[in-house]
């Protein structure tokens, strides 16, 4: 999930969402319009970084117009998610192995 800062809203609502423990939620803060000067921006780079630091988020500046750092944001998010997906998959695989072993034991016990 990306939270986008704009002049429309400075309230991010971080921490208000409720997710089951099995759901992986990663957040990053992305400031757009990095292609324009600091003085013309609704939110400065330093304010964006300070807000990200306050909430413990990674901060990226991007420009959709010039495609600056757009791919980098998605790659960083994927790098953050991948280890958790692998760990989650391992848990499910171990559970499936346990179920398969139990089923094999039951089928051979009375045969």
pLDDT tens for residues 53-109? 988 899 999 999 999 999 999 999 888 888 877 776 666 666 665 665 655 666 555
Q: If you search the block for the tokens 């330093």, which residue do you land on?
A: 46
pLDDT value of residue 11: 52
**Residue 12, Cβ neighbours under 10 Å: how many?**
17
Cα(104)–Cα(102) distance, integer angstroms = 5
Annotated domain spans of the chain: 2-109
47 is written with which tokens? 């304010």
Judged against a pLDDT cut of 60, whether residue 23 lies above it is answered with yes
Spatial contact of 4 and 32, defined as CB atoms under 8 Å apart = yes
Spatial contact of 77 and 26, defined as CB atoms under 8 Å apart = yes
């Amino acid at each position: 999930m990306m939270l986008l800062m704009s002049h429309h809203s400075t309230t991010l609502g971080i921490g208000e969402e409720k997710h089951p423990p099995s759901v992986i939620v990663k957040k990053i803060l992305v400031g757009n319009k990095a292609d324009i000067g600091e003085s013309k921006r609704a939110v400065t780079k330093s304010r964006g970084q300070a807000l990200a630091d306050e909430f413990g988020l990674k901060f990226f500046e991007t420009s959709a117009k010039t495609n600056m750092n757009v791919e980098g944001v998605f790659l960083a998010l994927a790098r953050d998610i991948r280890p958790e997906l692998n760990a989650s998959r391992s848990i499910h695989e171990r559970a499936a192995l346990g179920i398969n072993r139990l089923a094999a034991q039951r089928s051979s016990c009375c045969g």
